[in-house]
Structure 1
Amino acid sequence: MESMSPCLAEQRSGVLYATVVHTGELPGEMLPEGRLKHHLLVLVEDGRARLEREYAGFVLFPDSCWLLLPGERIRICDEGEPPLRCRAVVFDVWRVRQAEENDAVSEMAPAALEVAIFPFSGLLDHHLAHEVRRWMDSSAQTDISQEHRTFSLSIRFLDVLLKILQSSTERQESKDLREAIQKTVLLMEQSYAQQITREELAKLANMSASHYSFVFKREIGKSPMEKLTEIRIRHAKKQLLFSDRKLRDIAESVGYRSEFYFSRQFKQVTGVSPKEFAHRHFAKHVEISHPFPLHMQSLGLTSGSSDRSNDRIQVVGLYVEDFLIALGVQPILKCVGNNFRQSYLNAYLNGVEEWSILSFDFSVIADAKPDLIILGHPEYGGNGRFARFSEIAPTYSIRKGLHHWEHGVRIIGQLLNRLPQAEAIITYHEQLLQKARTQLAIVSHQTVALIRICNDRRIRLYGGPEGYSGGVLYQDLGLKPSASVLRLAWDKPSGYVSVTPDVLYELDAEHLFIVVDPAGQSYWNQLAGDPRWGRLPCVRANRCYEVRFDIWMTFGIIAHRLKLQDVLRFLVPPGRALPTIVYK
């Protein structure tokens, strides 16, 4: 053990005074366990170990450096060969303040010391670990006097602590800025139909307008108004492709009072006018097997059955049964997979024969004699299967899949020549959402997240603003995503990010929805049995809600209304939730 002189580090509340108690090798038999009495800097030289802290577990790996605080209950478990080898610095921190009249201090040192805690803990960045290593290496110098060496090491240790403090402050400031910017992007996603100014967004971010614009462009890569325009044009594209609304109505629905200004903005962003875009791009969304117009002729009715009522059309829809039922069309087969069945549709599909997407038995479809086949995802038509389907009946394949309930209602409605019914469904659903948002205002300040426990033992954290769950939670209902959702999963192309159990046990959401795949239950039982799970604030507050896999992992409009019921049932006090929503 080697005692060192004190060192100083400034802070806004005063001056921090650090006393090094020990520095040197930390043998395996001396690995700390229990509550720490001092601050501890651990630099791992070799081997691997498990660091158990009160709220989570972490891996100690070579060249990593950890700062742990007094009062923490920790345990370091060596994981075998090679054995863990590390160096450590044990130190205390004090705060220096001006002495008051009743303080017992000497005339030579008119100041008082208070025990203090260093305002950072956890894994240090690599460059800071390098600074700690350099300081430890320099402590072995013997070519100078003891007094000179002690004083020099004290000053240099001060510099190391100061760099750690500065890095922590910069990291927190950067995190706060990102969260403030994401908060304004979320407002844009939820309120793009309203008039939004840069000044209003800057006020929400608690910045001046000019500073907000600077930070926004640095974080997002474009100005706030460019981002808002991008969001509005994205929503306008959906309506242009999958609705027959007038251009004026589309412009107003995405926040433009002038149809002409909307058209000018649309062309500036896309390079073509709205009408030209709609004409060019429908084929990019739907692959069509037969070269004839849409609407009545595109229903796939043969010449021998063209006088048949549209209500009696025979349709096979691979995972679009939800939309078919909502639009009043009974599918003649129901699609099933290995682990995914749309069980929530059982009441509507009673007696309908199943068709396995795993075997692709085309004889079953041929025997059903469909007038029209709709493939809900392009992969269903891969490997030559689209041609096989087309030999049986006119076939449509949704090129990029159905990525939003509104997108699904409109495109299936157009393929079935039922756009008026589709628009009525959308209008009614938007009315339900408005009522739901009003009732959910009581929890609007609380954060929400959704995780999925997959069959392959993966954990997915779902983001937003679109996707299976994000579209409902954060866009449709306007709920507040947790910081971990914004930091890790927000705006991911896949709609989610895979996370480790360690991240799961650190989720900061006040309300957590949990989806468990059919074959993921045993893994979920294992995760939920870990003591760290029980220490999560949302678990202790009984705010974790397990919801059905088949409902939450699909875009169907009926499924989305069932999701709406789930959210209201869990988050709104009893007696205030909307009535059960079903299709007659």
Structure 2
Amino acid sequence: MTKDLQGSNRRKLFYSLINIETQSLSGSGQSEVFQDHTLIIVSEGLGFVEAEMRQFPLEKGTGFLFEPGLLSKINAEERGLSFYRLTFEMIETGENRQSEIERRTKEDILRSGLQSCRPFSQCKLLLEAIYNSRRSTDEIEWFAGHTRFQELLLLIMRANSSVVQITGDHEAIQRSIHYMEEHYNQAVTVDQLAEVAGITRARYTQTFKEVTGRIPLEHLNGLRIERAQQQLLLTNDRMHDIALSVGYSNEYYFNRRFKRSVGVTPGQYRSFHQDGLRVFAPFLEDYLLALDITPVAQYSHAEWGKQEYLALHNVPAVDISNRNWQELSRYTPELILLDNGFHRWHLEECSRIAPLFKLPVHQEDWRATLYSAAAVFGRTERVQEVIGNYEHQAQQAKQVLTRSVHSQTIACLRISVYGITLYGCEHLGYTGSVLHHDLGLQPHSLVGKLTRGKNRVNLTKEELANLTADHLFITFDRLEGGGRELLDTQLWRSLPAVRNGCVYEVDFMAWMNYGVLSHQRKIEDVLRALG
């Protein structure tokens, strides 16, 4: 026995924590080559990792372990992604260190790639304790942080003892879901889906439910009903034709499935296509007001507040961050209009209050989104008037700014405790198309260099120091903790725009929005600052 123990003790692998930090993303991140072993653990939101020509989905309670030298990118979905980022080193002692550590990183219990971090409540407590310990000046507390890091790794190792199997199954399910999205209007069987996934039918059905919470044909039916909802409100197609186009060969069966899923018949649902409809449209109020439609309630958030720029003073606010949907029911909406980011706020739970409709949202192409909203309410004739008014306002402002600004450069920054985000100058993001295309303002050279093909990027301190734009428009994200301490730093005070008094703070809710009214507010703010 002694001999065996001594033999095993010749090989010792230690995991030594280097740093822990919290980060938040709102959109596409920057590609980076990881210099150290890096573990991220998602605390809020949705996103995905791009690595080795593949995508790995991220959500609360999942993580990803990056090996040194791996080129990867972390991306957030529309409503953002928050996570802990831990860097550490693996220290090998004993004989044959190099060959042993290479073997262990490939075969051992802590493998790179997607990680399950369950139970997440326990994981979160450890992360908070590690985070606080690393910021303590007390030596014992510092050591305690390292000890808790070992506990965290043990928790993750145990949760991922079969990570290869789990990851493979998850990818197989995602392949079948993609197949459903492409072929929902055809006859699709579970046998076909299992074949696409490459696993047996019994295992496929079981795994599908574990991943999605539904059996395969329930998910397929959900896709069909969602497409039918869009056709009912956005087209004048006959009911029979809609049923066929979404994969139902029998109109009677379509009616039954639709009512079971939505709560009303297709004909009743289509009747929502009318004036006077009581609607709740979180994050889409801008488009409704542009069409002269007032929602029965407006969304608010405990940190962000309300969209004050819309001046909905007489419209009650519903806080979507506390998921108290009984409050919403008091205002008796007849339809709930959703954008692409509704899952982040669990807005699908509102289906017990009123039918839901997922509006086709085109983000930067606000004109297309406006038309989709207008089609729902039978107000498409109003769209050209709204667009015409905006373009006239932008043209008038551009003439003024051409005379006042000349060749001076500008940049737009979003600031929080997690960092500084620079917005791009192409037809991407909340500000690029308005500031640089519609108003013709010259972006600073660093904007074009760093954000090419992206709507925004996070700035390093070195990059911020090189941002010598003549004018800066800044806004603070209260959800991410403000970040106003930046304004007191020597780095910030050294920027030319700061020294010259050419920094303009703008309303977060108005500027971080794609709606036409938010764009008109941007034009007004720019004229006030530069005109």
Larger radius of gyration: 1
- What is the TM-score with the length of structure 1 in the denominator? 0.44
- What is the TM-score with the length of structure 2 in the denominator? 0.48
